[in-house]
Structure formats: C-alpha cells, structure tokens
Amino acid sequence: MRTPIFYFLLAGIFLSETVKAQDASLKARTDAVQITVGDQVKFFIEAQHDPQKSSIQWATIPDTFNTLEIVERGKIDTNTNGNLVIYKQRLLVTGFDSGLFKIPPFAFAVIPKDGAPYILHTDSFQILVQTVPVDTTQPFKGIKDIIVVKRSWQDYIWLIIGVILLAALLTIAILYFRKNKKTEIVVTPKKPVEAPDARALRLFDELQQQQLWQNNRIKEYYVILTDILRSYIEERFHTPAMELTTDELLQKARQHPEMRPQYDRLVTILSTADLAKFAKAQPLPQEHTIAMDLSKDFVIQTKPKTPTNTEQQS
C-alpha cells in the first residue's frame, strides 16, 4: 500500500505553476518539497507583462506564514524579452517545526491600460519538514563542566608594558606642551551657508549612493526621500511642509505661484511614496528611479534664480 508521503513526493515532480492572463503572466516554483528542520528551500517567483498594455503591483509577502519563515529575500531582477518586461525574485524559506506545511498563494495586482484591474495568484506548495534522526543505540553524554584556566602575571605582561608606555608618552606630551605653550588667537573662518537647493541635491545624491531600494529597504528609501523634499519646501517657500499631510501639501502647492507649475511632479512623488510607506505595496524598480529624478527636477526648477547682469544694473 502506498503511503500519503509517496503521493506527496510524487507531486514534487511538478514544482512550478504558471498563471497567465491576457495582459500578464505569473510563475512560481520551489527546488524541493522535503527538507530537514533548519534546512532551506528556494522559492522562485517570476512575473512578466507588456508595459504598453499593463502594469504589475508586486505581492506583499510576510516574513512568516504557516510556521515557515523567510530567512533571505533576493532583490527583484528585471529583464526584457521583446516587448515583455520580466521580473524575478528568489526567497529562501525554512522551517523549525516538523510537519507538512504550505507556502500559500500570493496576490499580484495587474492594472491594464484599458479595462478593470484584476488579481493573479501564485500556486501554493506543500513542504514536508522532518526532524534529524537520533541514534538511540549510543549512550547519553552529559554537558561538560566549565574548565577554569589558571592565569599568572606573565599572561598580562604585554598589557602591563603597553600601559607603562602609554603613561610615559602622555607625560612627555604634557611636559612638552606646557613648555612651548603660546597664547594665540585663532580666528576660525565661518563656513558659507549652504543654500536649500544645494543641500537638497547633495542629500539626494547621498541617498542614491546608499542603494536602499536595491537592498529591499524600500520604505526607508521613500521616508528619507520625502523628508529631504519636504525640508527643502519648508525652507525655500516658508511652508510647514514637514507637518502637513500629503493632501494638505498638494493643496499648498496648487495655490503657490512658484510651485504650481511643478504640481504634477509633486503628485507623482508623494503618491508613490505613500503607496510604499502606508499601503503595504511595492512600487516597481523604475518607479524608485522616477521618484528620485522628479524630486531633483522639482528642486532645480524651483530654486531661486540668480539675477542677470542687466537686472543688477537696473
């Protein structure tokens, strides 16, 4: 008689499932269906779509599900194949309890250019987690007691020498400076005040160098990005941007004569940031770059204009 484990392992031949729709397709697979407690199974997700027809919103995958845990998240790689854009991500999953557990289906939102949005789900996978076999024929071995190692002053000889040398150097330095002490008036030149636009552009460059969203720290990336932008608006236009909600800030921008031409840029930046920070959604990689470029453009287009020679003479 064949056991349920036999049929479970037989199902391991089909380790991947592809979900297709008119505008996009979704595929998921694992490299194993049976592991030992603490071992890892690789879970691969692949999504593709035609960006001219639709966009895809990546699924929110928790760190723990059904007693299984994600111990490592690979970055989302992007490739192209003709008109199609292909996204791939690898997850390492493990379990610390024995039993038969399930990797659940995850939901991906597809937003067509024409038509209503819909959801694609990955297939679910059963993972069998087994304990490590114990050899009961061997005698039990208890934990050994802590062994105390005797020390002598010779074990600290280099520490003693180092302390003596340090004390001698400090004594010589103090005597030298007391002997050669001169009263000098040191005038420290004032550092030039950094303009708000220069500071914002410098901070944007530093944020790009940190590569936060490339390392899956997407929420932190947008928190810093919007803080830099709001701080610039607050100092440049004397508006309490750090205390305003997104809607309140956009209302201020719509009414301000200098910010009004940049209103559409500001809407795109803040809505993408709110999506990443509060909606538990993950913007696509190109959206991270677009948010940065639009933020820099906003600063460049709204920075104070330097008067020309003609204006100065008049």
- For residues 123 and 205, membership in a common domain is answered with no
Domain that holds residue 37: 4-130
Same domain, 17 and 125: yes
How many domains does one find in the chain?
2
pLDDT of residue 21: 54
Q: What residue type is 183 in one-letter code?
A: T
166 lies in some domain = no
Q: How far apart are CA 114 and CA 110, in angstroms?
A: 11
What are the tens digits of pLDDT across the range 245-280? 989 988 888 898 988 898 898 989 988 888 888 766
The reported pLDDT for the residue numbered 7 is: 41
Report if residue 9 sits inside a domain.
Answer: yes
Mean pLDDT of 207-220: 89
Q: What is the pLDDT of residues 93-150, one digit of tens each?
A: 999 998 999 999 999 999 998 888 999 999 999 999 998 776 667 776 767 777 777 7
- What pLDDT is recorded for position 280? 67
Residue 311 lies in a domain: no
pLDDT above 90 coverage of the chain, percent: 37
> Stretch 294-300: mean pLDDT, rounded?
91
**Which of 87, 108, 130 finishes a domain?**
130
CATH of the domain at 19: 2.60.40
Give domain status of residue 160, yes or no.
no
Co-location of 22 and 119 in the same domain: yes
Q: What is the pLDDT of residue 311?
A: 47
16 and 116 together in one domain:
yes
In a domain, 53, yes or no: yes
Higher per-residue confidence, 12 vs 27? 27
| Mean pLDDT of all residues in 278-306 | 85
pLDDT of residue 185: 55
> C-alpha angle 179/182/185, rounded to 5°?
160
CA distance 26 to 46: 6
Among 112, 48, 50, 95, smallest CA distance to 76 is for: 48
Residue 158 pLDDT level (bands cut at 50, 70, 90): confident
Q: Is residue 156 part of a domain?
A: no
Q: What is the pLDDT of residue 9?
A: 41
Q: Which residue has the higher pLDDT, 180 or 262?
A: 262
Domain for residue 243, yes or no? Answer: yes
Rg (CA), the chain: 31
Residue 45 pLDDT greater than 70, yes or no? yes
92 plus 12 within the same structural domain: yes
| C-beta separation of 182 from 236 below 8 A | no
State whether 108 and 29 are in the same domain.
Answer: yes
pLDDT (0 to 100) of residue 150:
75
Q: What is the pLDDT of residues 29-44, one digit of tens each?
A: 999 999 999 899 999 9
3-state secondary structure at position 24: strand
84, 112, 130 — which closes off a domain?
130
pLDDT of the residue at 126: 93
181: pLDDT strictly greater than 90? no
Q: Is residue 161 part of a domain?
A: no
Average pLDDT of the residues of the chain: 83
Mean pLDDT is lowest, of 10-24, 107-121, 190-204, for 10-24
Tokens read off for 13: 């031949």
d(CA 26, CA 20): 6
The answer to whether residues 124 and 206 belong to one domain is: no
Confidence tier at 86 by pLDDT (50, 70, 90): very high
Instruction: Show the 3-state SS of 119-167.
Output: EEECCCEEEEEECCCCCCCCCCCCCCCCCCCCCCHHHHHHHHHHHHHHH
Q: Are residues 101 and 203 in the same domain?
A: no
* Res 288: pLDDT: 86
- Over 50: is that where the pLDDT of 17 sits? no
Q: Which of 63-67, 146-150, 182-186 has the highest mean pLDDT?
A: 63-67
Torsional class of 101: left (φ above 0), alpha (ψ -120 to 50), beta (otherwise): beta
Structural domain ending residue among the three candidates 130, 159, 178: 130
pLDDT of amino acid 85: 93
